[in-house]
Amino acid sequence: MLHTLINSPFKCDFNAMLRLLAEGDEVLLLQDGVLAALEGSRALESLRAAPISLYVLQDDVIARGLSAQISSSAAAVSYTEFVALTVKQTQQMTW
């Protein structure tokens, strides 16, 4: 399943999302969701502990001026790669 986090982890039920993550799931952080990939954040540590692949939308990271603060454990993707993720994962959940 592809989970897309568009809200800040501080303004959504981030813990509910974490409980629903399963092995092989992919999480894409976009819009304010990229805040979950800030190096040293509690949200990032929780995502690192999950059996998932983690991605951030590069354009949203740049738009927020966070390029230097985003963890390298979250793979940066383009819009084209975002579309490829949605094609790959037929089931999706937006948070």
When pLDDT is cut at 50, 70 and 90, the band that residue 1 belongs to is very high
How many angstroms separate the CA atoms of 95 and 92, rounded?
10
When pLDDT is cut at 50, 70 and 90, the band that residue 79 belongs to is very high
When pLDDT is cut at 50, 70 and 90, the band that residue 4 belongs to is very high
Q: How many CB atoms lie within 10 A of CB 47?
A: 24
Rounded mean pLDDT, 13-42: 97
How many angstroms separate the CA atoms of 49 and 31, rounded?
22
pTM: 0.93
26 closest CA partner among 52, 56, 57:
52
Q: How buried is residue 41: exposed, middle or buried, by Cβ count under 10 Å (0-12/13-18/19+)?
A: middle
How far does Cα 9 stand from its chain's mean position? Answer: 10
pLDDT at 3: 97
